[in-house]
């Protein structure tokens, strides 16, 4: 600890944690919609990799990170569409097709990188966006308002997705399709239509989460840059009980624990590093195990809908 | 409609498979197999890598070494095949076995994690030469190569101690094993030898390829006061990029010269000259020695080298360069030995 004042330490831990939670939040909020409609997409990691690559690639070529982010959204949508064709239209086993999508995304992003970039290259990504007034508040400004706008967007999406899911007709349809698709179908809601919309929306957010890694965090691309973050995002949806606030809590818990262990290691507090590294996972598992109530999942999760059968 | 669906399914499946084949397989095969007509003097070398040939670190340095050997001995004399992304030793085992049964003369599994799987396979192919590293345990047909990474670590440690203004130096470590332990330990000793009051802080990401995580760790190091940073493995590129974003902070590289990623940030690098190691294995094999040797990479035999980034040469005071050079000569002459803690390099 020596020379670092504890206030600075706490600010450091919190500011780092806020930033680290961003890709999890973006991807998990998207996956929440997908799963709420009854489809689980394990291909998030692959979509993130493609979003990460395209975000990087377009930014590198055009010098415009906004264009890169836009393209990553489009690529995410396309991969969501592909997943939809396989798992909704053709009713393939969702777990398997999701893993297929992951491998597809990893393979394709690596291949495109080799063909069109060739060597690890740095880009000018997003700069931190200072918010007049807010960014100048001592401590609070550094913790919450010293980041780039994708970070703010991820947190703003929490209340927005909550409103969309619980207060709009579309959100009601999503929830209906995910729990009792036959009832929704009877009432004239297109089950497959809603599922396609959710899958594409979720995949766009996964693409955005990938772009955040390359354009907003690392400012470069290298093979397998996601390093498992897509799978953690899927786990956080379960942790968060398919609700935006739960996902926010899970993402923050995981990322704050991660940030904490990084600072503990750097400041040389003598803990075996193996223990430090697993801390975020352990805390998340423990929180999940001791948290009250039984786990609730969308009833039709993972089951393709076929008219005339009991879902 | 049914027909259309069927065609689309097949199309999707084919796209999946094609991509997998293109990427999971051997994208970097340099020379096509020329049927069964094998020229007797042609040597076939297979390389199994934990990451990719363009990772700008561990894997790329070996790949470039292999390419240099091919260039030197002639493309018609050396055939190269590469399998990437096989960090998992069990999956790598399948590739290693396949290369051996396809009649490759030398199969290099580039990582410490392949040691045990290699021992198993090597016993079944007594005529094939296998190699791996970082390691030292050999078998009659297994070479173990072993970069003395602590030597360059020591030299870069001296440089870091001389260059730091904040008195804090940060190491972005991958996993506490093999090469990283040696490098980090040498680095700490170098710093301590040059300026005992400079603090060295070590932290690990717990992974070799967590590029974003390495970048975040580097940011935390810098937030906590470090102004000179270093670290090994392929994830280091993420840390270098993070360091490059702040002014007055510098990075010291190992494995290969990484200054192309951040020309204004990488001060110097310990470079591994794998081509000399590969060449040695090839010539030993020609003499009938299939393995059993512990091949060191060191400053003394030129397989390790210290390179300054010419663009930043004027940032380093002459006095620092002299101190590094003096230590380098002592290491080469053998009068200075960088000892590692007793339990190293044993696992």
Average pLDDT over residues B11-29: 52
B85 to chain A, any CB pair closer than 8 A? The answer is: yes
Residue B109: beta bridge partners? B48, B132
A162, part of any domain: yes
As a whole number of angstroms, the distance between CA A114 and CA A226 comes to 17
What is the predicted pLDDT for the residue at B7? 60
Range of A36's domain? 6-120+147-290
B173 → chain A, closest CA residue: A273
B204 → chain A, closest CA residue: A273
A301, part of any domain: no
Band (B346; pLDDT cuts 50, 70, 90): very low
What is the predicted pLDDT for the residue at A292? 61
A274, part of any domain: yes
Whether B206 sits inside 8 A of A274 (CB atoms) is yes
Helical (H) or strand (E) element with B5 = helix B2-24
What is the predicted pLDDT for the residue at B38? 47
By the 8 A CB rule, do B247 and B71 touch? no
Which of B220, B221, B261 has the most A C-beta neighbours within 10 Å, making it the best mutation to test the interface with A?
Answer: B220
Average pLDDT over residues B183-204: 96
Mean confidence (pLDDT) of chain A: 92
Residue B21 pLDDT exceeds 60:
no
What is the predicted pLDDT for the residue at A287? 82
Whether A223 sits inside 8 A of B12 (CB atoms) is no
A127, part of any domain: no
Residue B10 pLDDT exceeds 50:
yes
Which of A229, A265, A269 has the most B C-beta neighbours within 10 Å, making it the best mutation to test the interface with B?
Answer: A265
As annotated, the residues of chain B forming the CATH 3.40.50.2300 domain(s) are 41-147+274-297, 149-271+305-333
The region of weakest confidence among A286-290, B34-38, B239-243, B271-275 is B34-38
Which of B15, B203, B222, B240 has the most A C-beta neighbours within 10 Å, making it the best mutation to test the interface with A?
Answer: B203
Question: Using a CB-CB distance cutoff of 8 angstroms, which residues of chain A are in contact with residue B208?
Answer: none
Which of A19, A105, A147, A223 has the most B C-beta neighbours within 10 Å, making it the best mutation to test the interface with B?
Answer: A223
Among the partner residues B24, B212, B226, nearest to A217 by beta-carbon distance: B212
The answer to whether domain B41-147+274-297 has CATH 1.10.940.10 is: no
Q: Measured between CA atoms, how close is A243 to chain B, in angstroms?
A: 27
CA angle A154, A122, A261 (to 5 degrees): 55
What is the domain count for chain A? 1
Band (B1; pLDDT cuts 50, 70, 90): very low
What is the predicted pLDDT for the residue at A284? 85
- The phi and psi torsions of A203 (rounded to 5 degrees) equal -70, -35
As a whole number of angstroms, the distance between CA A264 and CA B174 comes to 16
ipTM: 0.90
Which of B11, B54, B261 has the most A C-beta neighbours within 10 Å, making it the best mutation to test the interface with A?
Answer: B54
How many residues appear in chain A? Answer: 311
Band (B28; pLDDT cuts 50, 70, 90): very low
Among the partner residues B9, B201, B204, nearest to A268 by beta-carbon distance: B201
Task: Provide the token pair at B206.
Answer: 């717990």
Higher-pLDDT residue of B278, A309: B278
Helical (H) or strand (E) element with B129 = strand B129-133
The answer to whether domain B149-271+305-333 has CATH 3.40.50.1360 is: no
Whether B16 sits inside 8 A of A104 (CB atoms) is yes
What is the predicted pLDDT for the residue at A172? 96
Among the partner residues B205, B206, B224, nearest to A4 by beta-carbon distance: B224
Q: Assess whether the previous peptide bond of A12 is cis (omega < 30° from 0).
A: no
A202, part of any domain: yes
Number of neighbours of residue A87 by Cβ within 10 angstroms: 26
Among the partner residues B52, B56, B224, nearest to A110 by beta-carbon distance: B52
A128, part of any domain: no
As a whole number of angstroms, the distance between CA B291 and CA B108 comes to 12
The sign of the torsion formed by the CA atoms of A84, A85, A87, A90 equals positive
Among the partner residues A107, A218, A224, nearest to B215 by beta-carbon distance: A218
Torsion of CA A104, B88, B57, B346, to 10 degrees: 170
What is the predicted pLDDT for the residue at A306? 87
By the 8 A CB rule, do B109 and B135 touch? no
Q: Measured between CA atoms, how close is B79 to chain A, in angstroms?
A: 21
- The C-alpha R_g of chain A, in whole angstroms, comes to 20
Q: Measured between CA atoms, how close is B244 to chain A, in angstroms?
A: 10
Question: Using a CB-CB distance cutoff of 8 angstroms, which residues of chain B are in contact with residue A266?
Answer: 170, 201, 203, 217, 220-221, 224, 226
Each of the 311 residues of chain A gets a pLDDT tens digit; together they read 444 457 788 999 999 999 999 999 999 999 999 999 999 999 999 999 999 999 999 999 999 999 999 999 999 999 999 999 999 999 999 999 999 999 999 999 999 999 999 888 899 999 999 999 899 998 999 999 999 999 999 999 999 999 999 999 999 999 999 999 999 999 999 999 999 999 999 999 999 999 999 999 999 999 999 999 999 999 999 999 999 999 999 999 999 999 999 999 999 887 889 999 999 999 888 887 877 666 678 999 988 998 876 54
What is the predicted pLDDT for the residue at A293? 61
Average pLDDT over residues B286-298: 95
Whether A20 sits inside 8 A of B216 (CB atoms) is yes
Among the partner residues A108, A120, A262, nearest to B261 by beta-carbon distance: A120
Question: Using a CB-CB distance cutoff of 8 angstroms, which residues of chain A are in contact with residue B225?
Answer: 3-4
pLDDT in tens, A246-258: 999 999 999 999 9
Residue B102 pLDDT exceeds 60:
yes
Average pLDDT over residues B58-85: 95
A1, part of any domain: no
B206 → chain A, closest CA residue: A277
pLDDT in tens, B152-179: 999 999 999 999 999 999 999 999 888 8
As a whole number of angstroms, the distance between CA A198 and CA A164 comes to 12
Whether A219 sits inside 8 A of B261 (CB atoms) is no
Q: Measured between CA atoms, how close is B265 to chain A, in angstroms?
A: 12
Residue B341 pLDDT exceeds 70:
yes
A275 three-state secondary structure:
helix
Whether A90 sits inside 8 A of B5 (CB atoms) is yes
Question: Using a CB-CB distance cutoff of 8 angstroms, which residues of chain A are in contact with residue B231?
Answer: none
Question: Using a CB-CB distance cutoff of 8 angstroms, which residues of chain B are in contact with residue A122?
Answer: 241, 244, 261-262
Residue B3 pLDDT exceeds 80:
no
Q: What's the CATH code of the domain at A271?
A: 1.10.3470
Whether A265 sits inside 8 A of B238 (CB atoms) is no
B264 to chain A, any CB pair closer than 8 A? The answer is: no
Residue B270: beta bridge partners? B306
Whether B209 sits inside 8 A of A223 (CB atoms) is yes
Residue B298 pLDDT exceeds 90:
yes
What is the predicted pLDDT for the residue at A286? 87
Average pLDDT over residues B47-74: 94
What distance lies between CA A273 and its chain's CA centroid? 27
A102, part of any domain: yes
Which of A101, A259, A266, A271 has the most B C-beta neighbours within 10 Å, making it the best mutation to test the interface with B?
Answer: A266
């Amino acid at each position: 600890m020596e020379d670092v004042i504890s206030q600075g330490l706490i600010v450091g831990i919190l500011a780092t944690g806020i930033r680290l939670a961003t890709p999890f939040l973006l991807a998990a909020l998207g996956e929440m919609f997908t799963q709420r409609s009854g489809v689980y997409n394990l291909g998030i990691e692959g979509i993130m990799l493609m979003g990460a690559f395209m975000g990087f690639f377009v930014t590198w070529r055009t010098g415009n990170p906004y264009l890169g982010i836009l393209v990553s959204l489009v690529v995410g949508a396309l991969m969501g569409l592909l997943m939809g064709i396989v798992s909704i239209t053709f009713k393939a086993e969702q777990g398997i097709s999701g893993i297929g999508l992951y491998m597809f995304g990893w393979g394709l992003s690596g291949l495109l990188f080799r063909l069109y970039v060739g060597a690890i290259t740095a880009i000018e990504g997003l700069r931190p966006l200072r918010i007049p007034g807010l960014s100048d508040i001592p401590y609070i400004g550094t913790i919450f308002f010293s980041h780039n706008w994708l970070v703010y967007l991820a947190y703003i999406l929490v209340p927005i997705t909550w409103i969309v899911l619980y207060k709009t007709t579309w959100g009601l349809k999503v929830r209906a399709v995910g729990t009792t698709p036959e009832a929704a179908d009877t009432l004239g809601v297109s089950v497959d239509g809603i599922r396609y919309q959710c899958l594409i929306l979720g995949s766009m957010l996964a693409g955005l989460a990938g772009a955040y890694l390359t354009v907003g965090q690392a400012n470069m691309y290298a093979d397998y840059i996601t390093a498992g973050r897509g799978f953690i995002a899927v786990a956080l949806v379960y942790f968060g009980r398919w609700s935006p606030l739960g996902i926010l809590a899970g993402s923050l818990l995981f990322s704050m624990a991660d940030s904490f262990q990084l600072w503990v290691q750097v400041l040389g507090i003598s803990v075996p590093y193996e223990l430090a590294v697993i801390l975020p996972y352990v805390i998340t598992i423990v929180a999940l195990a001791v948290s009250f109530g039984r786990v609730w999942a969308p009833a039709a999760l993972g089951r393709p809908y076929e008219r005339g059968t009991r879902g | 409609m049914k027909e259309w669906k069927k065609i689309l399914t097949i199309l999707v499946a084919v796209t999946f498979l094609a991509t997998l084949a293109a990427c999971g397989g051997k994208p970097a095969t340099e020379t096509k197999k020329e049927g069964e007509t094998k020229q007797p003097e042609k040597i076939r070398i297979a390389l199994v890598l934990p990451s990719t040939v363009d990772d700008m670190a561990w894997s790329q340095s070996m790949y470039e070494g292999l390419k240099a050997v091919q260039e030197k001995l002639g493309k018609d004399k050396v055939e190269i095949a590469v399998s990437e992304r096989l960090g998992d030793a069990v999956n790598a085992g399948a590739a290693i076995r396949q290369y051996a049964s396809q009649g490759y003369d030398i199969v290099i599994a580039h990582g410490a994690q392949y040691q045990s799987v290699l021992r198993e396979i090597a016993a079944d192919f007594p005529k094939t030469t296998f190699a791996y590293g970082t390691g030292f345990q050999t078998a009659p047909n297994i070479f173990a190569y072993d970069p003395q990474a602590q030597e360059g670590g020591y030299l870069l440690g001296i440089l870091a101690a001389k260059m730091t203004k904040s008195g804090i130096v940060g190491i972005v470590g991958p996993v506490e094993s093999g090469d990283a332990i040696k490098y980090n330990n040498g680095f700490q000793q170098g710093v301590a030898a040059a300026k005992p009051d400079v603090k060295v802080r070590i932290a690990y990401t717990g992974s070799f390829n967590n590029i974003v995580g390495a970048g975040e760790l580097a940011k935390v190091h810098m937030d906590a006061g470090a102004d000179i940073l270093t670290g090994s493995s392929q994830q280091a590129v993420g840390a270098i990029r993070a360091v490059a974003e702040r002014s007055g902070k510098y990075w010291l590289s190992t494995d290969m010269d990484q200054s192309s990623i951040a020309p204004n940030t990488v001060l110097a690098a310990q470079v591994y000259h794998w081509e000399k190691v590969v060449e040695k294995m090839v010539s030993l094999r020609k003499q009938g020695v299939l393995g059993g040797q512990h091949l060191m990479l060191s400053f003394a035999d030129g397989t390790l080298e210290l390179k300054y980034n010419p663009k930043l040469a004027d940032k380093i005071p002459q006095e620092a360069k002299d101190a590094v050079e003096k230590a380098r000569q002592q290491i080469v002459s053998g009068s200075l030995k960088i000892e590692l803690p007793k339990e190293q390099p044993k696992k």
